[in-house]
Amino acid sequence: MTAQDRAGLAAARRIVVKVGSSSISGESSWRIDVIVDALADARARGAEVVLVSSGAIATAIPFLDLGGRPNDLASQQAAAAVGQNVLMWRYQNSLDRHATLAGQILLTASDLENPTPRSNARRAIDRLLDLGVLPIVNENDTVATQEIRFGDNDRLAALVAKLVSADALVLLSDIASLYTKPPTEPGAEPLDVIAHDADLSGLEFGSTVVNSVGTGGAATKVSAARLAAAAGIGVLVTGADLVGEALAGGPVGTWFEPSPTPAPLGTLTE
């Protein structure tokens, strides 16, 4: 049943949760346990959960002595190959506490644009959920180029939510909610609920940010949230530390109301 408000997350049948690189890599890797515990609680309530996780490149940086996030494509792809392995090991190590298996799904833009691989991905995820496995989705950065440079998986998470007919999408951020302007600026106010047809032109979400571990920012989350909401999927944007409260339907974050007349989600290239 599609969640019509944030409280509906507590009863949502199928939820997609997305977490970014900065929340789970480097000194923040401890947060993997926090996220896994929250997902386990949601699963215990009967929800099917799909996790979209960034962090492969960021996770590899300390192991490859690169001195920071690499700028050249070949090094980024190499880092993704190493980091994906370590990232999945960390998730599985945490999931072992809940006797849960992880299943890795690596996707590219073309996978979701073409009917056959898109159908294959949906079938595989559905079967993993049937088996009680936690699907963990990431972009296949070793073979894709655009995905490394843009979005930090926010758009991918919206597309996956549509792919699996999710009842809700939760985008985890570094801050508790979205604001009317960057929260460090005077007069910035938190946004509680955004209607599916709201005019956001007067708000300042900023441009995509590239930091030492990932890409993304408020603007990419707003874009992804609007995309999913237009497809009839309610979206919550909140802080990674609030994931447990969010999945329990607590009064946190910024809620994007789902459109009552869902439109096709489209593709990554639109």
Q: Is 259 helix (H, G, I), strand (E, B) or coil?
A: coil
* Residues in binding site for ATP: 18, 173-174
Instruction: With CA atoms as reference, report the closest residue to 247 among 59, 75, 82, 9.
Output: 9
Exposed, middle or buried, 180 (CB in 10 Å: 0-12/13-18/19+)? middle
* Residues in binding site for substrate: 54, 141, 153
φ/ψ region of 115 (left if φ > 0, alpha if ψ in -120 to 50, else beta) reads: alpha
Interatomic CA distance for residues 15 and 47, integer angstroms? 7
Strands (DSSP E) contained in the chain are 14-19, 48-53, 102-107, 134-139, 168-173, 193-194, 209-210, 215-216, 234-239, 254-256
Greatest C-alpha distance within the chain? 50
Token pair belonging to 170: 């939760």
The answer to whether 226 and 171 have CB atoms below 8 angstroms apart is no
Token pair belonging to 45: 């309530």
Exposed, middle or buried, 64 (CB in 10 Å: 0-12/13-18/19+)? middle
* Residues in binding site: 18, 54, 141, 153, 173-174
